[in-house]
Structure 1
């Protein structure tokens, strides 16, 4: 019995610590020797012989391939589903980074904490404090969205003249060459003031001609276009989406064929005869900046029926740059995205001849368009929409926190009612999660990574959290946010939610197919190696990968069981104190996620990619591992402030709970029920033990939003806050200070009212009566009068004439009470 326990402990330790095969061999040999000489048990020769055979097979690669991995390799090649070219290019696009650690079952927390903190250079900070601040002051979002339906000419010119369209363009071409972190912070700040202006700035700096040119353009293309893009002399757009192919960009029907033809270059007016080129036809929709663009980036499928380029007829997706003044290019009409007024519209053309030199990268890059797009999209999806989501979270946190403290009902600030408190906790927690997640990804980008999986995580989860935060903010504001008008600082962002949910890959698709569809293959330490080995017929590489994979599964099985039984209490953590338990739980669930992932692939095989609900839950697991780890990184980066502990706890505990629920839902729906039963007992031996953040934690987050202090300041840092009390956002902070400062006087006045000390009826008259009776001082009178004025400014909504044409801002003159 004792020897059996020793063997069990030995096997568990070897699996837990992922010992190599040779160590396993030595460990089992030592146990057999101990059994024979230590315990006096005669080990049969047959057992030694069997051990020797197994050890030889496992430790001698040629023998292992002949006996075990070779036959498995043959079966694997037959059952591995073929990958289309677009799938291969999507998988190969970008890099894996911290997401690989999360998939490993043993995240290196010291590695996470050692990543450099994202910082702005002096030049970048000056741009945020200078031109970006000035741009925000020029933005009147109500006028833009409801009156002009466009940015004013003054704003357009400011954007062009100050280089906002060339933030990613290198300095050698006249651009700003900002870091990805700075780019995101500029977009975030603008978006806190006006979404239409933010979209106008972000699109040329995201997936578009500028990004594609810098990576793939010819020297001639770079030297001509990049300086013009940087100076705002060219307005770019990129036409990818068609009415018949939205998220499935690989299915675009737009096409071109290689031929010879003639054209007039609109840039020089020069006529060119009988040149090699492409005759292209397209119909695109939902193209941002298309109505005003001067240069059109165009994606289409290219064919070469006459074999003018070579033997291949189906060349593949190709990207070209077409001046919009070129004959046959149709632009100018607009779509009207809800809640926004940025330029967006269709473009189309039929049998438009373009020279081969207009292909991005030239003739050498025909057919490379899909790879170019997915590589650049992996960067843009980390920046643009996640930044706008962060901006919405900051606005929701700043405005709702102040409003909930200023507005009272039944003698209490509404933020102190538990129902409101619960909503505010979500607003603060989601805002913390969104910015932490993006900042960590931006760190990777600025380290040279292109984290394609994490970009999909950010796109989906930041926009979904934005949706939830704005919904809660609208609920707390109630009627204050229902009425449209210049005073309503939430409505435009709320109306624009479907835009962020839909573009750059619809959220349903992103969650159900992209996050795990790419993550399972790219981040797994062995799967991609096995697939490539199978496609290449490389048995030696497959042997090495499959051997490691088997050990990986065994290790995660043991680790999941042990950490489940112990609640991960014995796991190491890089930090002590309150955060240690979070690192331990994340290590536990990293192993459990890796195990579930392997069991899903094992039991479902190639059909897993069609099981979108299961794939979505696996994606949720990976996503919440990332979000929780990003929050821990942020907490440490900001100095582990004790006053931020509540929002950290809410953020991490919420992500861990969502992770647990995703695992529960996965196990409840895994088709192989015996396997699901076993996995549930391994991963959750004591049941679902993780809980949502406590009410007490949520209350602490809500109070932090309502009070001036470090947590509120850090959550809303980088937001544009006008210093004009006539502005509906600018008035909030002065009103909050004034209302809090005068609460003792207001309490005194309420007591005098209850005691029957006043003869007058209205609160305004009673304030004057208290001053006349010497019950309050002149300073107190002035402070209360100012606080009440500011409070009224915060609470009141807009009204118009009956035609809803003319707005009346004379609210104070109609003050009755």
Structure 2
């Protein structure tokens, strides 16, 4: 029976077909907690046992010392205007080891953990996206990462110490006009030939674009498609995708031209090669790695998706949340801090909850990588969803800052980040592609308990393996059908939950309930959509949404447990889980509405109304949003803990420093201002801004001289913090002219 079923599935393309490159991608990396959700029966005890890492003493000292000093030295406004990082800043970074965070100590690097590298990037990026590229690329997408893993002994000895010192500044040449998210379609060509000395060399021709640090790098890791017509390397006539190291100045290589990225114009540009010749020993990993580049690409891209891009996005969200809460208490309208208005408090509450949730996801994901786990599906989720949330958070912050976020200049602390938000959306695979193709497209096969086994059996025409796999799959399907029905009727009452905070137990039960439905509908998608899944991007995107929000919801719960069940954080957990479960509910409704065929009609007309009645959750209510907003609207032990490792400059002349100085002064003076307000109510003081009545309050005996001075100082600081930049006509146009002159001078 199973043999006939296998032949029918082969003939009717029931299951998704897997190309050679897709197979390598599926076989690369690991299944992690994502597999628990695909199982339909998540083991929360085992999931909570996953390590939630912390920085070592050495790593924390680096964060508190060199990182803070770097950001204090680097004038983010001047860097943005000049579009370059000053040489003295780059020298400082080299001296302090910023270029070698990923490189082992044996080769002169820092040998930091993934979590520490992520933390550094999260702290640097909100200060300056241009500066951040000099940290991100050398420590995730440069040559060092691949050399550590694949380099020959000679390559490691030569390159790694020089990369750690900053003698080599790397870039990674992958994207082409016709190869973006589909890295397998690169056309950069390398042909092996025997040179005049009788050795094997490579002749390369390529046209790359969007290469970060491309204009300034002196060591390029170039992804190309290697041909070897005479089989000189012993890998056949077409070894395939290969990574080759090319030095700046190699004849035929053209670099230095620039693209102009939106927002902050970080170094980015094309790399052109015409008959560039290098020795075959320049293959990264040596000649034995000819054709081994696809796995390198998958691992390198997964590193960017798990580490650098989520770190940058989440660091931005945390900084935005802290700054927006502070600004909402410093800025006043109608005699009231705008943060006290519900309409303003609501987006601030959302910012705080999302910052809490995504920081938990970042730490948990990086901890897995440090434990030797490389989960490509989870890294895709982190990249796509944290960068999208960061864009939404930037919009919320702009709504609160309003004019202070619009008017550019040194005092504007969020404008450049808002403008730069689309950049992270597009790199390392555009979010549209990651969401609609990668997350569920890989996850449905890779993370499913039985699907990959069955697909392999069908492709290999192995009836014994197919029979074994299908028996397991049928049992899995029937079990999840029963679990989904049971959990739906009891609203997850019988989901097993380990010893957790009693306040959060209900969220584990709902996640378990959601997981059973997710697993059941994954099977339905594989059975009824099958080989057409790649074409049903809207449907697979909704599956990706459900998985992503379950993962982020669980990460929130893991953080809460790992940090000691801080009672004051429960409001953030409540908001994050309500939001996560409501998003999962929306995803399921979309799946029910858009499933095709007879099953789709049944889901739309019968199951969907029941799904909407028996909801997983509703969106957080207004009271919860206002309570969440208060977290960043006060200065106390909780806000200090949650804002740890966000850069808070001591220089009160900077925009961020000025804002938090005002926030501190206004917070301390608040009880005194309340006394002025009380005096206004009983008629002892006239109407007006309370903190503008210090002289009258002192004369009326409401405040003493010291208290009046404190309120006056707070007002002065507050007014300075809400001020925006003003330029004379000559200054306004000179800024643009000078920037143009600087660009032309350096181009020449």
Query: Is 2:45 the counterpart of 1:119?
Result: no
1:372 corresponds to: 296
Q: State the match for 2:5 in structure 1.
A: 72
CA distance, structure 1, for counterparts of residue 124 and residue 379 of structure 2: 21
The question of 1:681 aligning with 2:607 is answered: yes
User: Contact conserved, 1:236 with 1:293, CA < 8 A, in 2?
Assistant: yes
CA offset at residue 275 of structure 1?
A: 2.1
Map 1:415-494; keep pairs closer than 5 Å.
Answer: 415-494=339-418
> Could you tell me how far 1:319 is from its partner in structure 2?
0.7
Q: Note the alpha carbon deviations across 1:494-521, whole angstroms, 9 max, x for none.
A: 1111111111110111111111111111
SS of 1:543's equivalent? Answer: helix
TM-score (norm 1): 0.86
Contact 2:635 2:667 in 1 (8 A): no
User: Does 1:519 find its partner at 2:443?
Assistant: yes
Mapped to 2, the partners of 1:549 and 1:372 lie a distance apart of 32
Offset at residue 178 of structure 1 (A): 0.6
Q: Give the structure 1 partner of residue 741 of structure 2.
A: none
Query: What are the equivalent positions in structure 2 for 1:228-377 lying under 5 Å apart?
Result: 228-262=162-196, 273-310=197-234, 312-377=236-301
CA change 1:551–1:261 in 2 (3 A) is: same
**In structure 2, what is the equivalent of residue 210 of structure 1?**
144
- The change in CA–CA distance for 1:410 and 1:278 in structure 2 (over 3 A counts) is same
In structure 1, the partner of 2:554 is 629
Q: 2:158 is matched with which residue?
A: 224
**2:596 is the alignment partner of 1:671:** yes
- Say if 2:705 is the partner of 1:778: yes
Deviation at 1:400, TM superposition (A): 0.6
Report if the CA contact (8 A) 1:289-1:344 is conserved.
Answer: yes
Partner of 1:130: 65
Matches for 1:86-125 after TM superposition, within 5 Å: 86-125=21-60
User: How far is 1:690 from its partner?
Assistant: 1.9
| 2:586 is equivalent to residue 661 of structure 1 | yes
Per the alignment, residue 185 of structure 1 pairs with: 119
Question: Does the 8 Å contact 2:364/2:555 carry over to 1?
Answer: yes
Distance 1:500 1:685, change over 3 A: closer
Taking structure 1 as reference, are residues 763 and 322 closer, same or farther at Cα in structure 2, changes over 3 Å only? same
Specify the alignment match of 1:508 in structure 2. Answer: 432
Shift of 1:737: 3.0
User: How far is the alpha carbon of 1:750 from its aligned partner?
Assistant: 4.7
Task: Tell me: CA distance 1:544–1:802, structure 2 relative to 1, closer, same or farther (3 Å).
Answer: same
Partner residue, 1:607: 532
| Residues 133 and 213, structure 2, Cα contact 8 Å, conserved in 1 | no
Structure 2 vs 1, CA of residues 233 and 573 (structure 1 numbering), >3 Å: closer, same or farther?
A: same
RMSD of aligned Cα (Å): 2.1
- In structure 2, the partner of 1:404 is 328
1:769 CA displacement: 4.1
Kindly provide the CA deviation profile for residues 608-654 of structure 1, in whole angstroms up to 9, marking residues without a partner as x: 12100001011111111101110000010111111100110111110
Structure 1 range deviating more: 451-460 or 123-132:
123-132
SS in structure 2 of the partner of residue 800 of structure 1: coil
Report SS of the residue matched to 1:314.
Answer: coil
Q: Is the 8 A contact 2:680 2:686 kept in 1?
A: no
Contact kept in structure 2, 1:151 and 1:342, CA below 8 Å: no
Inter-partner Cα distance in structure 2 for 1:710 and 1:247: 44
Moved more, 635-644 or 673-682: 673-682
Are 2:231 and 2:237, in contact at CA under 8 Å, matched by a contact in 1? yes
Per-residue deviation, 1:756: 6.7
Q: Aligned pair 1:163/2:97, yes or no?
A: yes
Q: TM-score, normalised by structure 2?
A: 0.94
Aligned to 1:811: none
- Contact 1:624–1:658 at 8 Å: present in 2 too? yes
Deviates more, 1:739-748 or 1:689-698: 739-748
Runs of 4+ in 1 over 6 A off after TM superposition: 758-765
Aligned match of 1:618: 543
Cα distance between partner residues in 2 of 1:151 and 1:160: 13
Match of 1:548 among 472, 476, 494: 472
- Answering whether residue 523 of structure 2 is matched by residue 590 of structure 1, we say no
Alpha-carbon spacing, 1:752–1:229, altered in 2? closer, same or farther (3 Å): same
> Deviation at 1:116?
2.0
Q: Which moved more, 1:157-166 or 1:773-782?
A: 773-782
| Secondary structure of residue in 2 paired with 1:284 | strand
The change in CA–CA distance for 1:275 and 1:655 in structure 2 (over 3 A counts) is same
1:523–1:689 distance in 2 versus 1, CA, 3 Å: closer
Larger radius of gyration: 1
Contact 2:649 2:657 in 1 (8 A): yes
Alpha-carbon distance in structure 1 between the residues aligned to 2:690 and 2:511: 55
Q: State the secondary structure of the residue aligned to 2:272.
A: strand
1:370, distance to aligned residue in structure 2 (A): 1.3
For 2:305 and 2:99, how far apart are their aligned partners in 1? 17
Report the Cα offset of residue 757 of structure 1: 5.8
**Distance of aligned partners of 1:723 and 1:569 in 2 relative to their CA distance in 1, 3 Å threshold:** same
Shift in CA distance, 652/253, structure 1 to aligned 2, threshold 3 Å: same
**In terms of mean alpha carbon deviation, does 300-309 or 776-785 score higher?**
300-309
Q: Which 10-residue stretch deviates more, 480-489 or 72-81? A: 72-81
Preserved contact between residue 516 and residue 616 of structure 1 (Cα < 8 Å):
yes
Question: 2:575 corresponds to which residue?
Answer: 650
**Equivalence for 2:740:** none
Number of residue pairs matched?
A: 729
Question: Conserved in 2, the CA contact under 8 Å of 1:632 and 1:648?
Answer: yes
Q: Which moved more, 1:679-688 or 1:70-79?
A: 679-688
Q: CA deviation at 1:772?
A: 4.4
- What is the distance in 2 between the residues matched to 1:726 and 1:497? 26
Greater shift, 717-726 or 233-242, is seen at 717-726
In structure 1, which of residues 698, 705, 720 is the aligned counterpart of residue 632 of structure 2?
A: 705
In the alignment, what sits opposite 1:738? 665
Are the equivalent residues in 2 in contact too, given 1:404–1:706 (CA < 8 A)? yes
Counterpart check, 1:793 vs 2:724: no
Residue in 1 aligned with 2:78? 143
Structure 1 gap segments, 5+ residues each: 1-67, 263-272, 808-817
Equivalent-residue separation in structure 1 for 2:173 and 2:237 (angstroms) = 24
3-state SS of 1:688 partner = coil
Contact 2:673 2:691 in 1 (8 A): no
CA distance change for structure 1 residues 111 and 324 in 2, over 3 Å: closer, same or farther? Answer: same
CA distance 1:758–1:335, shift in 2 (3 Å)? same
CA–CA distance in 2 between the matches of 1:546 and 1:82? 17
Task: Give, in whole Å, the separation in 2 of the partners of 1:805 and 1:754.
Answer: 49
Aligned in 2, Cα 1:557/1:492: closer, same or farther, shift over 3 Å?
same
- Tell me if structure 2 keeps the 8 A contact 1:760–1:766: no
Name the SS of the counterpart of 2:123 in structure 1.
helix
| Displacement of 1:755 | 6.8
8 Å CA contact 1:320, 1:359 repeated in 2: yes
